[in-house]
Chains A and B, each alone.
Chain A
Amino acid sequence: MADRSIAARTQVGRRPGRYVLRAVVTAYLFFLVAWPLYLVGRNAFADGFTNLNDILGDPDVTHALRLTVVIAVTAVVINTVFGVGISILLVRYDFPGKRALNALLDMPLSVSPIVVGLALILVYGGRDGWFGPTLEAAGLQIIFAVPGMVLATVFVALPLVIREVVPILQEVGDEQEQAARSLGANALQTFRRITLPSIKWGVIYGVVLSLARSLGEFGAVKVVSGNVLGETRTATLVVEEKYLNFDKGGAYATAFLLALVAVACIIVVSVLRPKEDR
């Protein structure tokens, strides 16, 4: 990795156009990402810590923040367990329909989250969904409740762990696993002692990405949550609500918190990244 980037750099370095290219890229990222994000932060702290104190003192907002964390963590746990399982299935086994499954796994990245929300209502909706009425009769409400919101979040962040783990599994190969089997390890022991340690960094990277994605999910959650204040309103919904109600200070402060967590995730990832390459 290091060798490659050095080689790429020296190659680019010989061309006179490199300064232009560098300037264009920097300006692009600055105006698109850095400057707007900075402004969110500046607006959040326009009156010092007042905005932040206000929202943190508002029980509805703290409830929303807590709910966001609960949903995100639950979704990440589910996506990690299934993500690792599906990755192993995709890499280590051949079965009919594997290509179709592979394509299906990219759907959540390409479909608009709002479509995901509507689709979930069609299946799990309490009044006329496919499973909804049955489940509701059994006392389990999905739509307009936390389970639906977890479901929507799981859906949109589904491929992130898989897309990180699959290439690593392919690169590692299965000889170490075969060696473990021949030394007497059963499937579970092989997974725990050999497979998991070798894909560890991919899983961690996928988890961090999924966490960032899940915390920030808006569209799908909005459709399935019902957006009930103090019950099913998450942090992103609070931002929208406050913004629409001309409480810009509160909106920016909440947005700042969300951005802060996302930035923390990115920093964690960039710290982890070199270790994975080593």
Chain B
Amino acid sequence: MSIEIVNVGKRFGDFVALDEVSVSIPSGRLTALLGPSGGGKSTLLRIVAGLERADTGKVEIEGVDATGLPPQKRNVGFVFQQYAAFKHLSVRRNVAFGLEIRKRPKDEIRRRVDELLALVHLEQFADRLPAQLSGGQRQRMALARALAVEPTVLLLDEPFGALDAKVRKELRDWLRRLHDEVHVTTVFVTHDQEEALEVADEIVVINDGRVEQIGSPDELYDRPANEFVMRFLGPVTQLGDQLVRPHDLQLSTEGGDQAGLPGRVTRVTRIGFEIRVEVTADDGQTVTVTLTRNEFLALGIQADSAVRIRLAPNSPTTTATSPAQRAAAPSLAATH
């Protein structure tokens, strides 16, 4: 295990940012710390980097106890959401910074910086100042700068958070490919479940200063440990006392299969290729079902059609619990 976090706690005044968190982060993988804003994931990352000090607990990086080490002795690369570019230095000098501090020979620095600039596709911008770069370019520069010192671990704090949606998506793909090339143990913080599911090998879900679940994207999506994870990773709807994914539900018309919960279609909304069908069950519960356009057309239903709702076999479900916990991630159920 590359990063071993044991019982780490951190308070800011009365606010508990991290509550006895223990996580093992594997070597050479791309791990996402996923959770809502204010959940403690950035704090955890900053504690690993040494930019924040844990009140309790221990941090080990590649077998070395780093708990009391200052950031410059941890050999970690850190990438900030707002880039933290050295504004008065050219792109080349930014990337070279860590190597200059380490007093490497000049020609070695030049060679290494050229390599890195090629890796992040910024060769032709080497002599510009950060202010002359776009957000995406600045973040790639920051990444090259962090990689220059050959860090044991690369830590990225909401690296794409300040970028617009299109650049965000490009950089996300690019980070995945980059990681496949350089294989450095990488941990990135995000509040975007899609980003985590798409890019990460391993996801740590953090909420309210606690770890909710650790697993691969598939494990998390298919076997959510609790209601929070279920709600956070994607859209949900309630069927009986179970939370299920709207696209795991199947509809049948009265003539067909008689299994499932009977109800009536109360509303049909089309969002591009996806059709969202709202069904009010006979017991009064409103269930959302999403269908593809083709499925919808094959069923031939419309508002007020009588239908039966059934959950596709082997679909993930969690038991819906207290309304309070439901309120913890209210917007997410409605996002998709």
Contact = CB atoms under 8 A, between A and B. Distances in A.
Interface size range of chain A in the complex: 10 to 19
Given A175-B80, A175-B82, A189-B101, A182 B87 contact: no
Interface residues of B, number: 27
Given A184-B98, A184-B101, A189-B101, A179 B72 contact: no
A34 B77 CA distance: 57
A138 B279 CA distance: 95
A184 B78 contact: no
Contacts of B75: 184
Given A178-B51, A180-B97, A181-B51, A186 B84 contact: no
A139 to B, nearest CB: 43
B88 interface: yes
Given A198-B87, A198-B88, A182 B49 contact: yes
Interface in A144-187: 175-176, 178-186
Contact of A183 (B70, B88, B101): B101
Given A182-B72, A183-B145, A194 B86 contact: yes
Contacts of A194: 86
Interface string B83-101: 0111110000000011001
Contacts of B82: 175
Contacts of A274: none
A12 B149 CA distance: 54
B275 interface: no
B80 A181 contact: no
B71 interface: yes
A189 B97 CA distance: 11
A181 B101 contact: no
Nearest to A278: B131
Nearest to A200: B88
A177 to B, nearest CB: 9
Nearest to A182: B78
A180 B85 CA distance: 10
A255 B102 CA distance: 54
A44 to B, nearest CB: 43
Contact of A178 (B78, B85, B88): B78
Interface in B310-330: none
A197 interface: yes
Contacts of A182: 49-51, 71-72, 74, 76-78, 146
Contacts, number: 61
Contacts of A180: 86, 97
Interface string B234-245: 000000000000
Interface string B172-214: 0000000000000000000000000000000000000000000
A183 B87 CA distance: 16
Contacts of B80: 175, 178-179
A179 B102 contact: no
A183 B84 contact: no
A197 B87 CA distance: 9
Interface in A188-217: 189, 193-194, 197-198
A198 B101 CA distance: 18
Contact of B146 (A178, A181, A183, A198): A183
Nearest to B77: A182
A261 B232 CA distance: 67
Given A184-B72, A185-B72, A186-B72, A179 B86 contact: yes
Contacts of B72: 181-186
Contact of B84 (A175, A184, A185, A197): A175
Contact of B97 (A175, A178, A183, A186): A183
A171 to B, nearest CB: 11
B51 A184 contact: no
A228 to B, nearest CB: 48
Contacts of A189: 101
B86 A184 contact: no
B51 A183 contact: no
B149 A176 contact: no
A176 B86 contact: yes
Interface core residue of A181, A183, A184, A189 (most chain B CB under 10 Å)? A183
A174 to B, nearest CB: 9
Closest 6 CB pairs of A and B: A183-B98, A175-B84, A182-B78, A179-B84, A181-B71, A197-B88
Interface of B: 49-51, 70-72, 74-78, 80, 82, 84-88, 97-98, 101-102, 142, 145-146, 148-149
Given A178-B80, A183-B77, A183-B149, 15 more contacts: A175-B82, A178-B51, A178-B78, A178-B84, A179-B86, A181-B70, A181-B72, A182-B77, A183-B145, A184-B75, A185-B72, A185-B97, A186-B70, A189-B101, A197-B88
